[in-house]
Amino acid sequence: MTQYPTPSSVALVARIIAETFDVTGAAARENAEGLVMLAEGWGGVGAAPVDWDLQVKKHFGERLKWKSEVVRQRFLDDKKSTFAAYESYIRARK
């Protein structure tokens, strides 16, 4: 049985990709279909909602050219901050 991604999710993710990265509309949709299909395979009925903005940036951030260096840097800074918070939490638990 072939599983197809949800059209509304694909449209949302394609829009986020097109707004964030320097890609064509067709490339945004193709990348969106793959990511949504993968995410829907992880979840299923009752799965937690997906933060598509974060997932798009994490998944494609090193593969596609960013439209804005400011947005890219903000994402990387947030990622570093999150990692630092996890490390601090882990050290405190030891």
Express each pLDDT in 5-53 by its tens digit: 788 999 999 999 999 999 999 999 999 999 998 887 765 555 567 899 9
* Domain-located, residue 2: no
* Domain-located, residue 62: yes
* Domain-located, residue 1: no
What does the mean pLDDT of the chain come to? Answer: 87
Please give the Cα distance from 77 to 30 (Å, whole number).
28
* Domain-located, residue 37: yes
Domain encompassing residue 51: 7-93
Please give the Cα distance from 52 to 84 (Å, whole number).
23
* Domain-located, residue 33: yes
pTM above 0.75, yes or no: yes
Residue 82 dihedral angles phi and psi, to the nearest 5°: -65, -45
* Domain-located, residue 34: yes
Alpha helices by DSSP H, listed for the chain, are: 7-20, 25-42, 52-60, 69-93
* Domain-located, residue 66: yes
Q: For the chain, how many structural domains are there in total?
A: 1
* Domain-located, residue 40: yes
